A and B are shown apart, each in its own frame.
Chain A
Amino acid sequence: MLPVLNLGPLALQVPGLLILIGIWVGLTQSEKHARRLGIDPRKIDNLLLISLIAGVLGARLAFIAQFPTAFSGSVLDILAITPEMLDLPAGFFIGLIAGFIYGQRQKLPLWNTLDSFVPGLAVFMIALGLSHLASGSHFGSPTDLPWAITLWDENRHPTQVYEILIATITAFLVWPRANRSLLPSGSQFLIFSAITSFGMIFIETYRGDSVFLFGSVRQAQIISWGVLAASLFFLHQRLKAEKIAPAESIQNLQEDHETSN
């Protein structure tokens, strides 16, 4: 665990740094994949930027709406750069809507665009696990297993390591390869989403900080099950559509492959 790295007068927040590295590497990979799918990578950049800005603004406004009195004596704090004053679920929702509107206006193909995100998301999930390991969050429940790690005065399941392992396996399975073009567009994203949610159902079992519903059912498992069911449903719909990727995408894939050889 290494939450803070002190470099002279600088205190670097290692978990945040890992997340930033994950976003940067992930974005680079998604841009490459977008190009191969025949999507202008600049549009992917813009889409993510617009979603991010709308998400952050929305999250701050929703937070202010919840605690207006906290800002009454310090109006300039509305602009304070602090992650503590964000309503994350609201921000996520608003960012999603903004991204969707931009995608519609730019006529981005929905399923291909989602596919282009997959390499980025796969890298990001590994970075997220590393970030949890650095901060000690998402920690495991107590165990006597030989691979337990000592954290907060207990030997615990290394759930952060489980996260990294599952994210790495998922990345290996969904990483863009030439053969993916045989699957209908959107399948890559839906397979990624299904494997990730299935993995989360497993990892959540060993977490030591779960939120429970009805006494003993883990909330995160229920949400993951819903995402898994939705992913399989849409995957079924896409497979029924039986469409090969657009000709120009296949051409790009073929050129890529020949260049790499």
Chain B
Amino acid sequence: MVRDLTQYYATDTIFTNETMKFIKSHFTLFSLIVLSLAAGWIAFTAFQFPNSTQGRIPAPREGFFAPKIELTSLDNISYNLSDLNGQVVIVNFWASWCPPCKAEMPAIEETYQKYKDQGLVILGINLTSSDDVTKVDQFVHEYALTFPILLDEKGETANRYQVSSLPTTFFINKDGVIEKVIIGGPMSEAALQSQVLQMLEEKP
């Protein structure tokens, strides 16, 4: 059975023909009111809510200051992240038993060799709380790693950076702000180097 279309829709709708006529005849006024309200809100909020916490407090997130790192390396040298301000820093959390960590290490070493003279620092933080120092040492020799390998023996730094998956990599700019977080891997050499190039070009 085919019903009368007008009646059919008129019983079911908020947009009746009368409503449509009303909307159409007042649409310009309606638009102007909406746009003015929106513009007024933008102006009001620019003065009332100008604060943003991005880049003002430490948190393991893009746009925030990198949380502190104070650890000792495999060759017993103390490192403090705050001493590296003004330099581009890559912090890579890894473990010797993690396959994607192994897969991306050559690319990380290659990137370090290529850009260390331009101010790139790489800190490889081993999750020693769930690893073995002897295996870490073997791993470093096997992959001929030359950047500092820090030992997170209590897992405190990994907790502070909320590392939930390995590998996890933080790219920290010259102001000490995290620009990029990559969870998982392996990262390709080009992905690493393009990010480094971008950050090296930035002025602090």
A residues touching B (Cβ–Cβ < 8 Å)? Answer: 3-4, 6, 11, 13, 63, 66-67, 69-71, 73-74, 77-78, 80, 82, 84-85, 136-137, 139, 141-142, 152-154, 177-183, 194, 198, 201-202, 205-210, 212, 215-218, 221-222, 224-225, 228-229, 232-233, 235-236, 239-240, 242, 250, 254, 257
Which 3 pairs between the two chains have the least Cβ-Cβ distance? Answer: A179-B13, A77-B190, A70-B193
Q: Are the C-beta atoms of B39 and A178 separated by less than 8 Å?
A: no
CB of B155, distance to nearest CB on chain A (Å): 16
A205 engages B164 (CB within 8 Å): no
Q: Does A179 lie within 8 Å of B9, measured CB to CB? A: yes
**Which residues B104-147 have CB closer than 8 A to chain A?**
107, 110, 114
Besides A153-B59, A209-B54, 18 new A-B residue pairs in contact (Cβ under 8 A), listed by A number: A4-B183, A11-B165, A13-B183, A67-B190, A141-B49, A178-B13, A182-B17, A182-B20, A201-B41, A205-B45, A205-B49, A208-B54, A212-B52, A218-B42, A222-B42, A228-B34, A228-B38, A239-B24
Contact between B41 and A205, CB atoms less than 8 A apart: yes
Complex interface: chain B residues within 8 A of A141 (CB): 49, 51-53
* Residues of A with C-beta under 8 A to B34: 194, 198, 228, 232
B78 part of interface (Cβ distance < 8 Å): no
Main secondary structure of the interface of B (DSSP, over half): helix
Q: Could you count the A-B residue pairs with CB atoms below 8 Å apart for me: how many are there?
A: 160
In the bound complex, what is the Cα–Cα distance between A177 and B165 (angstroms)?
Answer: 45
**A246 CB to nearest B CB, Å:** 13
A residues near B182, Cβ cutoff 8 Å: 84
Q: A84 and B35: CB pair below 8 A?
A: no
Q: Which residues of B contact A207 (CB under 8 A)?
A: 52
Categorize the interface residue count of chain B. Answer: 35 or more
The answer to whether B61 and A136 have CB atoms under 8 Å apart is yes
Interchain CA distance A70-B189 in the complex, whole Å: 8
Q: Please, which residues of chain A bring their CB within 8 A of the CB of B47?
A: 216
Assuming A4-B183, A225-B39, A232-B31, is B188 touching A74 (CB within 8 A)? yes
The answer to whether B197 touches A216 (Cβ under 8 A) is no
Residues A209 and B191 in contact, CB atoms below 8 Å apart: no
**A70 touching B194 by the CB < 8 A rule?**
yes
- What residue of chain B has the Cβ atom nearest to residue A221's Cβ? B42
